[in-house]
Structure 1
């Protein structure tokens, strides 16, 4: 009988219960998926790599020998100088920008794809419905003991158009749920002035790349002045020139903005967005990485890695997403 090879996989993440969920997901795989491979999931404290003390010998050995790492991008970053033999890094997030700040490109990087779409879609649909139904007025009327149904009249959902910038797996999930709720949905092109005349909501789902940074700036927003849509950003913060966004709101080119992502996070205390009367801010929570979802993506990809078949949701270094 052959002895199974041992693969020790560092898990560098602040996601609670991730290691336990990964072990469960691996145990649920068919035995043929990881045949002749014994896997040891080893949690690594994120503070062990960034604290003032030197990285301990056991962690150094673990990282040096690791072929595979699972982790949050910003916590994987300080581990990479020690991970000389790594072949594949699985991100726990859809975004991997933190890893891009280091020069190495000699390993495969995969995103936590296919698991964020419905979370994002619920966030977007929730805000569209909330704004259309004017839910924000209910507590105000209640506080004043006012039964004011006229103030909460709403448009027919067939008359409301939601435009989506970025129709990848997440954008497609948003489109599917929003259209199921009855709203009209269209895909928007980066170079088009479509938002100016056809949509009531502009939803940005674009990733951060060289081509998309500051893509949504003064000219784009000014073209929206006819319909004055609400702008919802669940993509990446640096796709938007925030100064231009403030101008667009001040000038009435946009009616309002719901922002979950920002060029700098946490959003600086002095940002004009905090106090703007037409802005609603949420702290990058449109889609959280749930441990069981991440574990499922990782387990499937590990079976691909072991079988030398293509991994899912591979980040393309040359394209930036």
Structure 2
């Protein structure tokens, strides 16, 4: 088993070795070291890249440290019969906290007051409340589910959008594929947590922003390319959207000439909502469970569907 990770504690490496007792576990801190030992490797885990995957000649299972897999050559792995699992669930604490934080920042105008503070400007404005507002969550996975729970805790009505339309306890009304435009006009906040696939590319465009309630807020922590950024910018410029909080973008880093930088009603963060000092510990927990299942020949958790792309 090849474990590729730049920095990780010896304690967590020890836990991986204990779980994979029947394997020779090689820890590679960088790509150069990994490429030297990848031949013949059966299992690869951690921060792996396409180049490393394609350099292996005996791979049966790859487990990646991220939840998203849109940056991998899924067609290659499918053709090679490689099982791919991800670390879905590793973001279920920190990203919902980020979402709640920026929702409060937007509705209370804290970003505006912070700007005023830098100018020593004493200017009052009336903050709003989350209470009894309607929250629309696009994608009810681990992140979306916890976001819905936090919304309910704040007294919000929660609408959900998921491909299957399967109900969820913390969601008041669930919408399925093809019903997105029915949900959007009802939401005061629209939060995108969707992965990037062929079917979600630019899922949120001009028509969807037009369908949203006047004065709604938009939050994106999913993938930048799920949103048509030019349409988002237009919706913000026109006043259709009251504001936005964006952690992901169509191009990263966000280009210096993007109009988003200069919009007072936009909160920009550099793709950090998923970062946490507890990330590796949670990811190792998922990997260890899958190692145990792999050894026993049991179905793995978080197995990626090559048809769906997640």
**TM-score for both structures, normalised by structure 2:** 0.84
Alpha-carbon deviation of 1:44? 4.0
Which stretch has the larger CA shift, 135-144 or 163-172? 135-144
Distance 1:166 1:137 in 2: 29
Structure 1 residue runs of 4+, over 6 Å off? Answer: none
Larger radius of gyration: 1
Distance 1:162 1:221 in 2: 15
- Equivalent residue of 1:158, what SS? coil
C-alpha change, 1:40 and 1:25, in structure 2 (3 Å) is closer
**TM-score for both structures, normalised by structure 1:** 0.82
Distance 1:273 1:145 in 2: 23
Distance 2:184 2:291 in 1: 45
Residue-by-residue CA offset, 1:47-81 (whole Å, 9 max, x unaligned) = 557xxxxx5xxx2xx21121111122xx4211122
C-alpha change, 1:280 and 1:304, in structure 2 (3 Å) is same
State the partner residue of 1:22: 13
1:37 aligns with 2:22: yes
Distance 2:111 2:263 in 1: 16
State the partner residue of 1:135: 110
Of the three residues 4, 7, 11, the one matched with 1:12 is: 4
1:121 aligns with 2:96: yes
Alpha-carbon deviation of 1:119? 1.2
- Equivalent residue of 1:104, what SS? helix
- Equivalent residue of 1:109, what SS? strand
C-alpha change, 1:19 and 1:94, in structure 2 (3 Å) is farther
State the partner residue of 1:69: 44
Distance 2:215 2:158 in 1: 17
Distance 2:16 2:184 in 1: 47
Distance 1:318 1:10 in 2: 27
C-alpha change, 1:298 and 1:255, in structure 2 (3 Å) is same
C-alpha change, 1:26 and 1:175, in structure 2 (3 Å) is farther
1:308 aligns with 2:293: no
Q: Could you say what the CA RMSD is over the residues aligned between the two structures, in angstroms?
A: 2.4
Q: How many residues align?
A: 290
Pairs within 5 Å for 1:61-210: 62-72=37-47, 75-100=48-73, 103-105=76-78, 106-139=81-114, 140=116, 144=120, 146=122, 151-155=125-129, 157-188=130-161, 189=175, 191-210=179-198
For structure 1, which runs of at least 5 residues remain unmatched after alignment? 1-8, 50-54
Alpha-carbon deviation of 1:137? 4.2
State the partner residue of 2:200: 212
For structure 2, which runs of at least 5 residues remain unmatched after alignment? 162-174
C-alpha change, 1:83 and 1:215, in structure 2 (3 Å) is same
Indicate conservation of the 8 Å contact 1:205/1:236, yes or no: yes
Residue-by-residue CA offset, 1:260-305 (whole Å, 9 max, x unaligned) = 1122222233333333343221111111261111111111100000
